Every structure is written in C-alpha cells, then in structure tokens.
C-alpha cells in the first residue's frame, strides 16, 4: 500500500498597496531607492518598521501592487518611515511650510496643516477630507498646490475628474486627488459626492468600486452651494503683490522625501488613536461636526491643538447656520411658526402658508415666488403630512404634537423669527423648547 501524500494548499498571492491587520501589524507600500525598481512593502510591528519584498501572514502572501508606469512616475511615496518628534513638532513644521507657500492668515494655516494630517488617516474616517481652495484669476495657487502634493498621502494630479476618471485609477491606493477646475460642472460635483463617504460603491455592470478618497480642488470660483460638494474645508487665498516662488526640483525632492517619511511614521504610530475628538460639539451643525472629526480627530496626543482646531471652525459653522436660514425649508417653517402663534389657526391651509412664505421672501428682497405645490413638497420633506382641513382644503392640522415638531424644526433650522422674537410665554411648545435649551446649555 503506497503512503498517503498530503498536498499543500496553493499559496494565495494578493497585490496590495497597504493593509491594516491590527495596530501592531500594518503594511504600507513604499518606493524603492533603486533606480527603475518597482515599489516595496514596509511592515510595522508596533515598534519597528522593516522593508520587505513580500509579506506572508495567515497563508496569504502580499506583494506590492503593480501601479503601472504612469501612476508609478506620478505618485510620490515615502521610501521608509523616519522619526518625527511629536505631533505638535511635526504639525508646526508643516504649518510653517504652508504659511510660506500661501501667506494665509494663521487660522487658515492651522486648518490646512490639520487637513494634511487627515489625508494620512482617511481610512479611519467616515467622510473623506476635501479641501476647496479659491484663488483669484490674477493670483496663483501654484506654490501651495505644489507643497500640498509633496505633503499629502499618495497625491495624484488629475484633470477635472469625473466618476469614470476615478474608476480608471487604482483606487485601492486611497489617493489624494489633486485637481484644478475651470468650470464647476454637474459631472464634477457628482464625482465629489460619489467619493466622499467611505464604503459607498460605484457600480457599472457587474463591477463595484469604492471611490472614497481625499481631494484637493483649486478653483477661481467659490462653491455656490457647499452641500453639493459635501461641505469641504474652504480656503480663499489672499491676493498679494508679493511673489511666492515654487520650489526647484532639488528642494521639492528633499522636502517631499523628508515629510513623506515623517508622516508615514506618524501614521504607523498613531493610527489606532485616531478617534472623534472629545469635545462638546453640540453647538455645531452636522457638517461642522464631521469636519471637526476629520481635522481634530487626526491630531492625536495633543488635546490643546485639537481644541484650537475645533474653535477655528466656529466662523465656518456660523456661515452654514446663516445659509440654512435662507433655505426654502426654513422659510416654510417660519410661516408655520407664525401660524402656531396666531390664535386664529387650529390648522393652516397650504394656500395660506404659501402666501405667508411669499410674503417673507418679498420682505427679504427675494423676487422669487413659490407655488402651493412646492410648499406641499417641502412640508413632506420636513416630515409634516398634509390632510383635508376645514372647508375641504388641503393643509396641516396643528395639534400640540405637531406644534412641538414645528418648534423643534425652527430651532434646528435657526429660523430668524425664533432668533429675533424669542419665545412666547403663552405658547406651551415655546415653554417646552425653552426648558430644553436651558437643560442643554
């Protein structure tokens, strides 16, 4: 009887540009220092980084992803991970470089520097870091754009990307897409939205791709509606007669190598510590809370710097709140607020509410007029369902429960009447809302 033979399971080989198995076992793709050689892998065991050609764990052998000649030339990767001092020390070095390349005010410099850090931890964030830089047509964003391309993780310069463009790139890299946009098109905004939230798949045929990645956009136009781009961090470059030169090739290579290697080590050491900042963000709108998570959450082991970043977001949040009061939804709620405080109304018809909405718009210098149909759709979007009311008309009944909902909506949307006139002593919903605000103050 012949002895039994035990066949070995075939080895599984997986091309990779990085894996996080645990906080003490991380793989990163790095460049080889040998001329014309392909990328290598760097392993991190929680204490030390080691360069390898391939790495095997749990029966799977990981090898560097073949990036192709074009991507390989365009992509700046670190060659190793090197000591960076402390988070604050590295942050200050980056902030100094940003200031020199942009002449931005200190508040904006701090936000941009924190945004650079965020690109290195995008895989720890639910929402992609997006930086929108507005530059005057007679100014130049070149020096800042050059610097950010050297500092950010896996930066790729791409011409006005669309969803199709992103799908054609090796998105496993989670690259930082850098682009200059001449015209803000619907296709471009669609690409931003499609790549803003981690885990959202773009499907064509039987192939699904996660397009999630950080992005830098340089444009001569500010965003008309920041919500369309996912409420990015917006920075306006100051117009100055001072000439800011771009880095020459030698200095660019030196700075890129130095900071790529420092930031890689920072990623390896602090990856597991990135979390939602431990601050009360209740006063902020949801988009600003997300941005605080992105910017402050990636600055670990420095609560003072985290707090400073969060405080610098207040002016931006105030702008969002002001913009929110101009939304048609807010105007509709303002009309409902008035009906809640008018003793004549036990219900309000959509027709009467539309007249009130148009009166508010006219009083604020708006030329537009809305139709009852539009107001009806806005009510539905706010979770307020219409029904038949007195006289067989279509409208909204106003029992105490509905009045409470309207008051909560007025607070959430920052309705101007609530801000200006305050609470009514004869309104139970106002009393309840006032008490709630006192408890959370």
pLDDT digits (tens, 9 = 90+) for 16-65: 999 999 999 999 999 998 777 889 999 999 999 999 999 999 889 999 99
Determine which of 78-92, 148-162, 191-205, 320-334 has the lowest per-residue pLDDT on average. 320-334
Is 243 or 337 the better-scoring residue by pLDDT? 337
For residue 438 the two structure tokens come to 């006192």
Whether 382 has a pLDDT exceeding 50, the answer reads yes
Predicted TM-score (pTM) of the model is: 0.80
Determine which of 213-217, 243-247, 309-313 has the lowest per-residue pLDDT on average. 243-247
Determine which of 93-97, 145-149, 235-239, 348-352 has the lowest per-residue pLDDT on average. 235-239
Helix (H, G, I), strand (E, B) or coil at 100: helix
Residues 6+ away with beta carbon under 8 Å from 32: 38, 39, 40, 79
Instruction: For residue 217, give the nearest of 166, 177, 190, 186 by alpha carbon.
Output: 177
For residue 187 the two structure tokens come to 């296709």
* Architecture per CATH, 87-320: 3-Layer(aba) Sandwich (3.40)
Neighbours of 49 (CB within 10 A): 19
Is 115:131 a contact under the CB 8 Å cutoff?
A: yes
d(CA 282, CA 260): 35
For residue 291 the two structure tokens come to 């941005």
Average pLDDT over residues 62-91: 94
| The CATH number of domain 326-440, selected from 1.10.645.10, 1.25.10.10, 1.10.10.10, 3.20.20.70 | 1.10.10.10
d(CA 427, CA 419): 16
Q: What is the CA radius of gyration of the chain?
A: 27
Is 429:407 a contact under the CB 8 Å cutoff?
A: yes
H runs (alpha helix) in 8-86: 69-74
* Mean pLDDT score of the chain: 89
The domain ranges of the chain are 12-66, 87-320, 326-440
- State residue 325's pLDDT score: 66
DSSP assignment letter at 197 = B
**Bridge partners of residue 235, in order along the sequence:** 133
pLDDT-above-90 percentage for the chain:
63
Is 336:352 a contact under the CB 8 Å cutoff?
A: no
What torsion do the CA atoms of 17, 77, 211, 45 make, to the nearest 10 degrees? 40
Determine which of 32-41, 49-58, 410-419, 421-430 has the lowest per-residue pLDDT on average. 410-419
87-320 and 326-440 share one CATH topology?
no
Is 216:194 a contact under the CB 8 Å cutoff?
A: no
Alpha carbon of 382 to those of 126, 142, 228, 375, 432: distances in Å? 26, 44, 19, 11, 20
Model confidence over 86-125: pLDDT tens digits? 999 999 999 999 999 998 999 999 999 999 999 999 999 9
């Amino acid at each position: 009887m012949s002895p039994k033979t035990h066949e070995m399971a075939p080895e599984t080989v997986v091309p990779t540009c990085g894996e996080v198995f645990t906080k003490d076992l991380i793989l990163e793709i790095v460049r080889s220092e040998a001329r014309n050689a392909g990328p290598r892998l760097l392993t991190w065991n929680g204490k030390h980084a080691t360069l390898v050609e391939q790495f095997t764990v749990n029966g799977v052998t990981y090898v560097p992803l073949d990036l192709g000649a074009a991507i390989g030339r365009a992509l700046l990767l670190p060659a190793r991970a090197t000591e960076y001092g402390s988070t604050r020390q590295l942050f200050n070095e980056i902030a100094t470089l940003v200031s020199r390349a942009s002449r931005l005010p200190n508040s904006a410099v701090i936000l941009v520097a924190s945004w650079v850090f965020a690109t290195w931890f995008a895989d720890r964030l639910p929402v992609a870091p997006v930086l929108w830089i507005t530059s005057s047509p007679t100014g130049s964003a070149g020096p800042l754009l050059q610097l950010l391309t050297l500092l950010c993780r896996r930066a790729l310069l791409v011409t006005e990307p669309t969803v199709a463009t992103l799908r054609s790139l090796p998105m496993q890299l989670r690259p930082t897409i850098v682009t200059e946009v001449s015209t803000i098109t619907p296709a471009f905004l669609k690409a931003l939205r499609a790549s803003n939230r981690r885990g959202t798949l773009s499907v064509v045929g039987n192939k699904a791709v996660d397009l999630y990645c950080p992005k830098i956009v340089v444009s001569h136009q500010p965003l008309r509606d920041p919500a369309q781009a996912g409420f990015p961090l917006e920075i306006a470059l100051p117009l100055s007669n001072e000439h800011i030169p771009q880095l020459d090739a030698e200095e660019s290579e030196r700075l890129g190598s130095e900071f790529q290697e420092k930031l890689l080590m920072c990623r390896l050491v602090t990856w597991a510590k990135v979390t939602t900042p431990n601050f009360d963000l209740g006063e902020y709108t949801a988009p600003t809370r997300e941005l605080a998570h992105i910017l402050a959450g990636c600055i670990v082991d420095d609560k003072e710097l985290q707090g400073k970043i969060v405080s610098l977001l207040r002016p931006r949040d105030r702008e969002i709140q002001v913009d929110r009061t101009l939304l048609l939804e807010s105007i509709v709620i303002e009309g409902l607020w008035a009906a809640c405080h008018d003793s004549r109304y036990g219900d309000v018809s959509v027709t009467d509410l539309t007249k009130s909405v148009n009166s508010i718009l006219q009083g604020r210098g708006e030329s537009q007029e809305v139709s009852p149909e539009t107001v009806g759709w806005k009510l539905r979007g706010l979770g307020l369902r219409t029904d038949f009311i007195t006289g067989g008309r279509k409208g909204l009944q106003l029992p105490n429960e509905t009045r409470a909902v309207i008051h909560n909506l007025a607070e959430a949307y920052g309705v101007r009447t609530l801000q200006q006139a305050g609470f009514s002593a004869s309104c139970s919903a106002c009393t309840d809302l006032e008490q709630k605000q006192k408890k959370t103050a």
